[in-house]
A and B are shown apart, each in its own frame.
Chain A
């Protein structure tokens, strides 16, 4: 049997199919490099989404091999041999399974190597989705193989691929808000680099893979109608379970990965810590954060450490999700949002180790006198910006988000800072400190009056 499988690996379309899937998968991953750059868990999501195209192609590849006997008219000769059907089907089925498995894991391995080489965080959590998706790919080639053995029309492989794609697009649009949408292999993206697929999402995907795999097995390997009917039932059951098990809603398929959120701190003082997924940026972040801490130290009761903000739940993409009326403060600590790769990336930047401009990060931290990531809803942007600009000694903060301020806000900030600087030194400190304390108490309105001493209209 092993020899026959080896022969099929060398002589069937298994390797060609694997190469095709690898090239198309790699092109998709490269095209989305901006999404997963240095981020293992995001790479895992991108690779999983690639199955939207790869699974239909796997289905077609399996069908091509399935119709080989009839196409070459070797069915008569094969029919005169004694081995039972399941044994005859095993070598081509195993060859296809080995080829797509190696292809998928090789893609994962290359991704891990690239991310590892660029200093990104790696964990076992990023491997599990790829292992689950291997069942989907093997299931797809086996269902295709069974279909190809049943119908030998040359139109079958392209028709199967097209049908699988159209069906996915169909459920994506018609099944929005319902579980039917779970049948598409294109996934909603996670909100952060520290989010990984949760158990329900993986189980839902595994149900689809198991349904395809067992269904393909029963349909392709059995010689009588009863197991084939069971194969169709298993296939349908897998789909139903996918619909039922997979959670619905934005962010519902993800969980916060604690290993990815683990803090990594720079040597020296004051202490600066970032999450493991951003650890590669620490050499650039630490000086910028320390500059910010030095600026914040102009105020009494200033924080003595800077720590990257961490979400306590997967993002639902609602702006108010992580901001409320209750501050989330850690004594002596300023929290900052880090998006070190918040810049226009091209695939040419893939191996670049540069992170976001340090000045921008310093500005982000001192914005609002270090209060913008305190868990409160953001209040008066101009007042917060003016406090930060005063601390930084500039007219307008050079935030990493270059589009944070429109012209009116920029003018308001500049005017507020100017007015503030005209006050006595101690009064300036008192007012900025008062703004900080008010913002840290989740006050959102009339912050500018604290700086200017005049109520705003």
Chain B
């Protein structure tokens, strides 16, 4: 399909922050899962850490525009997400891998990635090449024409990443992207993340502190819906050099931050 591309879509990104949240409150069911979060994210790979129930997934869902914040201000790629007129253009510049990657089992990897590219309103002529490139980048070239229902958990996760990056998004949201990946695939994925972070803002929600330290330029730690820490992976390692619990310095740093936050509150 050929369509006219609006000036809005081809305009260079001039916004100061890809993500700008001020006093953000988001409900998960009846519970306030994100409670007054202030956060700004620019280009690069940002690792979002936090214990279970910290509000990571709810925050990711709000950033992906799937759920509306209850309160506060949220601007993505320079646009207020409550502005319905700009939401469509904004969504075409997003990439999203939900924690639960829902897929149509009878579709092949290629079908699904192409379908998502169409839903993200990519120009029809660009879709086949972009699809192949995304599939190649996640290492599923030889399974491109396999049905999704025939893939292993790790392969499905990679297919999910492929659909999220097919439109080369300006804001990429990955919720637990390394779940199910084997160690070799995780290493390859970290390289991919670093590559993606060169041109866009990538937010990776994960429990794996090592992934954040290895691949992210920035660490964000949330707990009970609030921002606990923001800094460099090296800061986390330094904090855990002599204190905390965990198998690595980064994990120990993570535990120290949580412990201090909880004792302070």
Contacts and interface: CB of A to CB of B under 8 A. Distances in A.
Q: Which of A12, A76, A84 has the most CB of B within 10 A?
A: A76
A82 B66 contact: no
Contact of A72 (B1, B61, B94, B102): B102
B91 A81 contact: yes
Interface in B112-163: 114-116, 118-121, 124, 127, 163
B17 interface: no
A79 B88 CA distance: 11
A263 B1 CA distance: 54
A73 B61 CA distance: 14
A83 interface: yes
A77 interface: yes
Interface string B92-122: 1010101011111111100100111011110
A226 interface: no
A193 to B, nearest CB: 45
Contact of B115 (A4, A69, A73, A75): A4
Interface string B59-70: 001001110000
A130 to B, nearest CB: 30
Contacts of B88: 82-84
By secondary structure, the A interface counts as helix
Contacts of A76: 61, 64, 66, 98, 100, 102
A88 interface: yes
Contacts of B116: 77, 81
Contacts of A78: 102, 119
A7 B127 CA distance: 14
Contacts of B236: none
A80 B115 contact: no
Q: Which of B101, B103, B104 has the most CB of A within 10 A?
A: B104
A1 B96 CA distance: 22
Interface in A1-42: 1-4, 7, 10-12
A74 interface: yes
Contact of A80 (B66, B101, B104, B114): B66
Interface string A163-202: 0000000000000000000000000000000000000000
B64 A80 contact: yes
A93 B61 CA distance: 28
A16 B190 CA distance: 42
A74 B115 contact: no
B89 interface: yes
A69 to B, nearest CB: 8
A68 interface: yes
Contacts of B1: 1-3
Contact of A7 (B90, B103, B114): B114
Contact of A77 (B90, B96, B107, B127): B96
12 contacts: A3-B127, A10-B111, A72-B102, A74-B102, A74-B104, A76-B61, A76-B66, A77-B101, A80-B91, A81-B119, A83-B88, A83-B119
Given A2-B1, A4-B118, A82-B87, 12 more contacts: A10-B111, A11-B106, A11-B107, A72-B102, A74-B102, A76-B100, A77-B163, A79-B66, A80-B65, A80-B91, A82-B91, A83-B118
Interface of B: 1, 61, 64-66, 87-92, 94, 96, 98, 100-108, 111, 114-116, 118-121, 124, 127, 163
